[in-house]
Amino acid sequence: MDKSLYLVLSSEYRKDLLPLDIAERAINGGIKVLQMREKNLKHKDATALAREYSLLCKRHNVTFIVNDDPQLCVDAGANGLHLGQEDVKNITLAKAREIIGKDRIIGLSTHSLEEFRIANESGVDYIAFGPLFETKTKSYSIGLGDIDKVVKEAKKPVVFIGGINVGNIDDILSLGGRNIAVIREIMCAGDIKARAKMLNAKMQERFKRAVGIAKGGLGG
């Protein structure tokens, strides 16, 4: 996972489109990682939906992540599992790894520099860091002050999340962020594909600019 636009898809945010339609439009717009987060579905329904997401993502070479549930991750044939801080109080990372196997990836949410540093030394494969900005679902935000430390210290991919949109994405990218996760910014857009393309274009332009600056510096 590197230079990836990551969509957390929860159908509660969008009732006028089927979840698979949202996913396909976002994939066509350039997302590289799709996380299914459905906390209110029965296991049978969640499994059926996750299997459809898994097939869709495989067709488009997109990484498919299941939230919270290691067994659902396995049953759906997902690429990986994402856990929150509350989840790892109920199931250890070692147990989650035992269930999903060594070939799938595990991501972990962190909400402070201290939590990030603990995750950075753990067996997870990537770390989510946020919420950076205020969101409608979180009662707090952690701001941008620690991004430079996170980028400098990271031993594994970091996905920045929380209230990121086309207006503020450059703030994270300019501090060295390479993976960006969004929820509502894509899901609630009038044109899902176009919004994903816009975010992806901003990311790729920033990365190209960084490469150009590095080459210029070496050349000088």
CATH number at residue 172: 3.20.20.70
> What distance lies between CA 158 and its chain's CA centroid?
9
3-state secondary structure of 55: helix
| Structural domain range at position 10 | 5-219
pLDDT band at 219 (very low <50, low <70, confident <90, very high): very low
CA distance 91 to 158: 22
Predicted pLDDT of residue 220? 38
- Quick check: bond before 131 cis, omega within 30? yes
Strands (E) in the chain, as ranges, are 5-9, 33-36, 63-67, 80-83, 105-110, 126-129, 158-161, 179-182
pLDDT of 79 > 70? The answer is yes
Predicted pLDDT of residue 216? 67
- Give how many domains the chain has, as a whole number: 1
Query: Counting every residue, how long is the chain?
Result: 220
Q: State the helix-helix crossing angle for 19-28 and 192-219, rounded to 10 degrees.
A: 30
Exposure of 19 by Cβ count < 10 A (0-12 exposed, 13-18 middle, 19+ buried)?
middle
Task: Decide: 120 and 150 in contact? Cβ < 8 Å.
Answer: no
What is the pLDDT of the chain when averaged over all its residues?
94
For the chain, give the percent of residues with pLDDT over 70: 96
Predicted pLDDT of residue 217? 59
Whole-structure pTM value:
0.94
